[in-house]
Structure 1
Amino acid sequence: MIALVPLAQVSPQAVDALLDKAFGADRRARTAYRVRAGTEAIDALSFAAVVTDGRLLGTIQCWPVLLRCDQGDTVPLVMVGPVAVEPSSQRDGIGRALMARALEAASESSLDGAHALMLIGDPEYYGRFFGFMADRTARWRLPGPFEPRRLLALGDDVPDCAGALGPRVLQPA
């Protein structure tokens, strides 16, 4: 049986090992890592899929980011991902379940940016199953290379402005 639990209940070493398996050891060079550099994953929106014997099968992490619009506004957003699934368990619905749980948590959250989600991913998948679209992200700039069609957003609070996306460091409560 698979359970979805807060990611904070899983060892960071296990999470890193899974991310390396899913994305390769060079994953830290990706633009997504630059967007969220210096931030910590948002505990309330990050989850793990584990089996009863404690094995980690999947994770989803969400990160605080900020869009600095060229006209001067700053808009907090939440970057969704990475979604990582143990390669032998891919296509078992684990990634989809993790994504649904993170989206549910975001919809119930009062955290700044929780109603303005973004990710870098496959528009055919994230659009079809979760409603993410690139209609308001065309003028966003990221600190590294990316395919504009893969820069997706979801939520009523997502701005349609030109601007630079980068990390947002949350202050302790």
Structure 2
Amino acid sequence: MPTIAIVPLRPEHEAAVESLLDRAFEPGRHTRTAYKVRGTARALATASFVALADGVVVGSIQCWPVALAEDAGRRWPLVMVGPVAVAPERQQGGLGRRLVETALAALDASGEGSEIGGQVLIGDPEYYGRFFGFSAERTARWRLPGPGEARRLLARGAGVPDRPGSLGPR
């Protein structure tokens, strides 16, 4: 099996990433709540990566600028982590975890993830809590622009606001 390299996402990877996302998620993925949260923003180049096996994209992660629009009027900038996608034949080998680790390290190094306020994602609380410190502790009063389970709206970081508001594009 070839060695997998994790490298920054570049424009030449975009078509392969879209194809991978189509394979990893059900049809209609563009209507999911996470897509509505990030709107038409472009992914953060400093924290978006692909996993390559012999030059072929077999995994990806992208991070997005989002914000909590607090009911009291303040906007809290955050970074939305994900989607994380791994080719079905490469799943269960730790590649998704490596991609998340790489993106979070890049956010920490750039200041985008800590100085901004924190990171948010929609995902499995047991997995993302155990390995990466995400929790729903401060997101209970947040509203999403679509359906979602409150227990799956997770955040991490000292600056994550515990305030009522709507999560959406920055």
Aligned-pair RMSD on alpha carbons?
A: 1.3
Does the CA contact (< 8 Å) of 2:76 and 2:117 recur in 1?
no
Deviation of 1:54 (Å): 0.7
| Secondary structure at the counterpart of residue 96 of structure 1 | helix
| Secondary structure at the counterpart of residue 33 of structure 1 | helix
Deviation of 1:55 (Å): 1.0
2-side partners of 1:16 and 1:116: how far apart? 26
Does the CA contact (< 8 Å) of 1:67 and 1:76 recur in 2?
yes
Cα-to-partner distance string for 1:117-142 (whole Å, 9 max, x where unaligned): 00000001000111100000000001
2:152 aligned to which of 146, 150, 153: 150
Residue 135 of structure 2 aligns with which residue?
Answer: 133
| Secondary structure at the counterpart of residue 135 of structure 1 | coil
Does the CA contact (< 8 Å) of 2:79 and 2:112 recur in 1?
no
Which residues of 2 match residues 151-166 of structure 1 at below 5 A? Answer: 151-166=153-168
Residue 37 of structure 2 aligns with which residue?
Answer: 35
List runs of 5+ in structure 2 lacking aligned partners. none
2-side partners of 1:23 and 1:129: how far apart? 22
Amino acid at match of 2:19: A
List runs of 5+ in structure 1 lacking aligned partners. 169-173
| Secondary structure at the counterpart of residue 65 of structure 1 | strand
Does the CA contact (< 8 Å) of 2:13 and 2:57 recur in 1?
no
TM-score (norm 1): 0.93
| Secondary structure at the counterpart of residue 10 of structure 2 | helix
What is the number of residues matched between the two proteins?
A: 167
2-side partners of 1:114 and 1:3: how far apart? 28
Which residues of 2 match residues 52-67 of structure 1 at below 5 A? Answer: 53-67=54-68
| Secondary structure at the counterpart of residue 32 of structure 1 | helix
1-side partners of 2:49 and 2:13: how far apart? 12
- 1:99 paired with 2:89, answer no
Residue 13 of structure 2 aligns with which residue?
Answer: 11
TM-score (norm 2): 0.94
Amino acid at match of 1:120: I
2-side partners of 1:19 and 1:92: how far apart? 18
Deviation of 1:71 (Å): 1.3
Deviation of 1:9 (Å): 5.6
Does the CA contact (< 8 Å) of 2:77 and 2:117 recur in 1?
no
